[in-house]
Amino acid sequence: MAGNLESDIDRLYQLPLKEFTTARNQLAKDLAGEAKRRVQQLSKPSVAAWAANQLYWQDRPTYDALIAAAERLRSAHRAVISGRTADLRKPDADHRSAVDEAMRAAIGMLKQAGFDPSAATIDELKRTLGALPADIPAGRLTRALEPAGFGLLAGLQGLKPAARLKALNVEKPAPAPRAAAQASQTSQAAQARLAARKAREERVAAERERQRLQARARKAERFVLAVKKKLKAARAAEDKLGAALAVAKAARERLEHELERRQFDARNAAVGSISSG
């Protein structure tokens, strides 16, 4: 039963994005207990996460090449931090090339599915592909990931050497001054790249926020114009009703005057009849 559930969940993440919610709800409806609650809590992927998932489900060779390149780059990072000599340039170039290839394939899948990815979506997709592999099961991403390659170095900068090695689960190496100097230089370069990437991400976020605020402003402006239009129509209707009311009032007054005149004539006629009799 558990195996069947895992297969059913895998199928959810292979569906077209617009079908995910309906299919998830239908699957949960057919389950009970913990399995039902688990499926109900599954989040719909973002567009970038969905594209990364489809790379796993539909183009496994490209996905596997990306993961292999990422693992080689991370191994090189660990070697440098632990004090061993390692050349980061080739694994870094190989990883960038694998990310570019994965980007081309994933964007092609997005366009084939009818998406016209925005600059923000493309940026999220590139960051996500650069962060793979992740702790999340392959093919089941729901949100964009942050790169872990250079983050591996940056995240260890504040640790003492012994704690840094313990975090990496490696043994303390023999003293190697030249390797340590190389590691220090590599770490500084990694920090610079991390800072540059963070600045780019902040610019993208700021631009996204600016666009959101502009959209809200345009929506508010449309609402104000619509209210003004309705107010103008209401005033016109009020003026029209006022004119009609004035006409009706004048007609009523004429009728009342005519009624009084006829009642007076009728009383005079009655008095004249009695007098002549």
pLDDT confidence bin for 103, thresholds 50/70/90 = very high
Residue 204 lies in a domain: yes
| 158 plus 129 within the same structural domain | yes
Copy the structure tokens of residue 198. 């963070």
Is residue 109 domain-resident? yes
Instruction: State mean pLDDT over 10-27.
Output: 97
Q: Answer yes or no: is pLDDT of 120 > 90.
A: yes
pLDDT averaged over every residue in the chain: 85
What type of residue is 131?
A
Nearest alpha carbon to residue 94 among 78, 80, 79, 76: 76
- Whole-prediction pTM value? 0.55
Highest mean pLDDT among 14-28, 77-91, 148-162 belongs to 14-28
Residue pLDDT, tens place only, 169-216: 544 444 545 655 665 677 788 888 888 888 888 887 878 888 887 888
Same domain, yes or no: 203 and 89: yes
Structural domain includes residue 239: no
Q: Determine the distance from the C-alpha atom of residue 16 to the mean position of all C-alpha atoms in its chain, rounded to a whole number.
A: 17
Buried b (16+ CB within 10 A) or exposed e, 69-86: bbebbbebbbbbbbbbeb
Contact in structure between 123 and 167 (CB atoms under 8 Å): no
pLDDT at 30: 93
79 vs 171 pLDDT, higher one: 79
Do 27 and 102 fall within a single domain? no
Q: What is the pLDDT of residue 170?
A: 46
What tokens appear for 203 in the block?
């610019």
Q: Are 17 and 47 in contact (CB under 8 A)?
A: yes
Sequence-ordered strand ranges (E) for 157-276: none
Query: Which residues, including other chains, have CB under 8 Å from residue 194's CB and lie 6 or more apart?
Result: 150, 151, 154
Q: What are phi and psi of 136, to 5 degrees?
A: -70, 140
- How far apart, in whole angstroms, are the C-alpha atoms of residue 218 and residue 212? 10
Q: Of 9-18, 39-48, 75-84, where does mean pLDDT reach its minimum?
A: 75-84
Enclosing domain of residue 72: 47-225
Instruction: Supply the pLDDT for residue 155.
Output: 47
What is residue 3's predicted lDDT score, i.e. its pLDDT? 63
Residues 110 and 51 sit within 8 Å (Cβ to Cβ): yes
Residue 84 lies in a domain: yes
Is residue 60 located within the same domain as residue 155? Answer: yes
Q: What is the pLDDT of residue 164?
A: 52
Q: Please check whether residue 133 is in contact with residue 116, taking contact to mean a CB–CB distance below 8 angstroms.
A: no
Q: How many CB atoms lie within 10 A of CB 22?
A: 10
Domain count, the chain: 2
